[in-house]
Amino acid sequence: MNLKPIKIIKKNLVLIEKIAIFVCWKRDKKTKNDMTTTIDKSVMDNAQKWLEGGYDEQTKATIRNMIENDPGELVESFYRTLEFGTGGLRGIMGVGTNRMNVYTVAMATQGLANYLKKSYTGQIKVAIAHDCRNNSPLFAQTTADVFAANGIKVYLFDSLRPTPELSFAIRYLGCQSGVVITASHNPKEYNGYKAYWADGGQVIAPHDTNIIDEVNKIEGIDQVKMTGGEANITTINKEVDEPYLAMVHKLSLSPEAVAKHNQFKIVYTPIHGTGVWLVPAALKMYGFTNIVNVPEQDVNDGNFPTVVSPNPEEPAALKMAVDKANEVGADLVMATDPDADRQAIAIRNDKGEFVLLNGNQCASLLTYYLCRRWRELGKIDGHQFIVKTIVTSEMLLRIADSFGVKHFDVLTGFKYIADIIHRNEGKLQFIGGGEESFGYLVGDSVRDKDAVASLAIAAECAAWAKENGLTMWDLLISLYVEYGFYKEGLVSITKKGKEGLEEIKQMMVDLRANPPKSLAGSPVVEVRDYQTHKKVMNGVESVIDLPKSDVLQFVTADGTIVSVRPSGTEPKIKFYFGVREDLCCKEKYEQVNAKLVAKIEALKKDLGC
Q: Which residues are catalytic?
A: 184
Q: What is the DSSP string of 103-145?
A: HHHHHHHHHHHHHHHHH--S--EEEEEE-SSTTHHHHHHHHHH
Cβ distance 214 to 83 under 8 Å?
no
Which long-range CB contacts under 8 A does 295-299 form with residues at least 24 apart?
296/320, 297/269, 297/270, 297/271, 297/272, 297/321, 298/269, 298/270, 298/272, 299/272
Task: Round to whole Å and give the CA distance between 34 and 446.
Answer: 51
Task: Round to whole Å and give the CA distance between 406 and 441.
Answer: 16
Task: Round to whole Å and give the CA distance between 253 and 377.
Answer: 8
Question: Would the CA dihedral through 171, 173, 178, 181 be positive or negative?
Answer: negative
Please state the φ and ψ torsions of residue 64, each to the nearest 5 degrees: -60, -40
Q: What is the DSSP string of 144-174?
A: HHHHHHTT-EEEEESS---HHHHHHHHHHTT
Alpha helices, DSSP H, located in 448-513: 451-467, 472-483, 497-513
Comparing CA positions, the residue from 92, 85, 340 lying closest to residue 195 is 85
DSSP designation for 100 = B
Distance set, CA 275 to CA 1, 184, 279 (Å): 60, 12, 5
Q: Is the link from the previous residue into 206 a cis peptide, with omega within 30 of 0?
A: yes
Burial 219-253 (b: 16+ CB within 10 A, else e): eebeebbbeebeebbeebeeebbebbbebbbebbb
Cβ distance 298 to 231 under 8 Å?
no
- Residue 379 in 3-state DSSP? coil
